[in-house]
Structure 1
């Protein structure tokens, strides 16, 4: 049975998994979850993921959510010898660290400033921007100390995908991060060295930019955590 990935076309966690599956040449069926219609909030979707978050991987009835876990799983099960997720303990620990750092700090702080105001009733504030630059400072420091050309090694790993796609959200809203020289070089090198993977990110970026100009009406979702933005009629 071919893998099924329930995802959204503009969500960094979803497109990160798509990029890994694409690079590893693992066949999969992409099933679009209509976020605007609340398909992720249904009882049927909750059977796959009680968190009602996106994406979800279906491997012949084995349902796995959390994009980091999905990235690790597909490498371990389908391409265990791949450099994308090295098996040497220290090398793997760095990859795992960067994945955790993105989840807890980098994406958490940056998406709250870039993505949340596009879809929900959040404002971009000076404090929010400060947290963005704090996250950028830390990643720049990791690059400086490691001396590697990619986030966790001198080659691409699964840690790069979510970090790259967090940066994509900054580019989408026109937030300039060029003063972070190592981050900028890594980001631009990814575009140049992996154009087919960047196409996936670029497509998501264009969607985010479209929604910036045409805010979606999500008031009907009654999201328990994120208040819907009020759309001016």
Structure 2
């Protein structure tokens, strides 16, 4: 099994956390985002979306981190509590994965990541969206009343939500007023330090890029407009 991954990419980090938790051996292949490795024709054969990560399981290629998380559980650890079989509990896990993709990580990444790597600005509207995402997630945690995002135990829903939230920490964004989110985030760090370490390495890279944005002007055919006048 091979995982094509970017070192500071939240979706990549989430998949790596799941593989480590499940003790599934894999070869980590770094995709150099700054060099535009993901924009090549060769990479497009693996993922026409030219997005990261991509899983190569003995020739079976799969993009989209949510699908990868579900696949590795179903194939390799079908009895793991990480992706529970009970239909109602699993539906909550699936919901949280969808919520992260459609709202939580979407709004957070637009505010935190896009202005670092591409020609986007942090705006009052973008800030409002981040607070909307945090407020909704805080409400979900409150209403569910469990330790983690979808259950009292860790599930694959937590990994992408954790790696999305670490983007806020990376730029020193204060979300402490969202008490349930803060508690859940701290609990994960405390109970799973080895898994948090995977995210922390990526977070430190993002923090460094926040202070010193990379120059991507050399990248051929970028998906988003690149930053101008990078010092």
Q: Which TM-score bucket, shorter chain as reference?
A: over 0.9
Normalization by structure 2: what TM-score?
A: 0.98
Partner of 2:34: helix, strand, or coil?
Answer: coil
Does structure 1 conserve the Cα–Cα contact (< 8 Å) formed by 2:4 and 2:30? yes
Equivalent residue, structure 2, for 1:101: 99
The 5 Å alignment of 1:20-169 reads 20-169=18-167
Consecutive aligned runs of 4 or more in structure 1 exceeding 3 Å deviation = 222-225
Query: Offset of 1:215 from its aligned partner?
Result: 1.2
Q: Distance in 2 between matches of 1:203 and 1:171?
A: 12
Partner of 2:4: helix, strand, or coil?
Answer: strand
Q: Distance in 2 between matches of 1:225 and 1:74?
A: 28
CA deviation map 1:103-162 (0-9, x unaligned): 000000111001111111111011100000001110011011110110000010000000
Residue 212 (str. 1) matches residue 210 (str. 2): yes
Equivalent residue, structure 2, for 1:182: 180
Partner of 2:29: helix, strand, or coil?
Answer: strand
Is there any run of 5+ residues in structure 2 with no aligned partner, and where?
Answer: none
Partner of 1:219: helix, strand, or coil?
Answer: coil
CA deviation map 1:17-72 (0-9, x unaligned): 00000000000000000111111001110111000000000000000000000000
Q: Distance in 2 between matches of 1:223 and 1:127?
A: 28
What is the root-mean-square deviation in Å for CA atoms of aligned residues? Answer: 0.9
Is there any run of 5+ residues in structure 1 with no aligned partner, and where?
Answer: none
